[in-house]
Amino acid sequence: MTFRDFSLLVRDTKVDGFVEGLLRGELLASRCTGCGALAYPPRSDCPRCYNSTFEWVQITGAGRLVSFTSVFVTPRHFTPDLGNTAPFSAYRYCPAPVGIIELENGLRVMGWILGAAEAELEVGMRLSPQPEVLPDGRATVVLKPAGI
């Protein structure tokens, strides 16, 4: 497992534990051990106090949908007819809606929206973020209607 199993492009970061978390079924944010600032996506370096140690915090609960779209004209990794067998193109996420939710603590999470058709989505509705492991072993983040 490398970070690229989530990112598709970048292999090395100081927050590789995020992907390990997804594979364990946990969605992780970071908390700066200096000033306590929460960050999602997680980051190893705090832009507020410039401390570079952090601890992992699990994200739970639901958030409010800020915006969403479905991408029909897709980039390379998501274009099945380019013959790539990779990730999400061969699976069910293309073109699934993608959204950003805002949690009660103010953190914002991007993810694939599952369990609701695009026509059923509305800005402001509640969705909960969850880790998802794909059949090929890669990991991503999904947003599901709260309660599912």
Partner 1 sequence: MKQVAVVGVGQGRFGIRCDASLRELAFEAVKACLADAQIDLGEVESMVASVASDELSFALQPSAQISDYLGFVPKPSFRVEGACASGSMAVRTGWMTVASGLADLVLVVGAEKMTEVPTATATDVLGRAGDPIWEYPFGMTFPGYYAMIARAHMARYGTTEAQLAAVAVKNHHYGALNPYAHLRKEITLEKALTAFMVASPLKLYDCCLISDGAAAILLASEAIAERFAKEPIWLSGLGLGTGTLSLSDRNDLTTLPAAAEAARQAYSMAAIGPKDVDVAVVHDCFTIAEIVAYEDLGLCPRGEGGRFVEAGETALGGAVPVNLDGGLKSKGHPIGTTGVAMAVEIVKQLRGEADPGRQVDGAAIGLSHNVGGTGQHAAVHVFSLDKGAG
Can you give the binding site for partner 1, defined by CB under 8 A? 6-10, 13, 41, 66-79, 82, 88, 93-95, 97-98, 100, 108-112, 118, 122-124, 140-141
- Is 122 or 147 the residue whose CB approaches partner 1 more closely? 122
Least Cβ distance, residue 77 to partner 1 (angstroms): 7
CB of 127 to partner 1, least distance (A): 14
How distant, in Å, are the alpha carbons of 11, 16, 136 from that of 85? 19, 24, 10
Complex with partner 1: residue 64 or 145, whichever CB lies closer: 64
The H or E element spanning position 135 is none
Q: Is 124 exposed, middle or buried (0-12, 13-18, 19+ CB in 10 A)?
A: exposed
DSSP string, 91-115: TT-TT-EEEEEEETTS-EEEEEE-S
| Least distance in angstroms from the C-beta of 75 to partner 1 | 4
CB of 69 to partner 1, least distance (A): 4
Nearest to partner 1 of 51, 70 (CB atom) = 70
Scanning the structure block, which residue is given the tokens 């890669």? 138
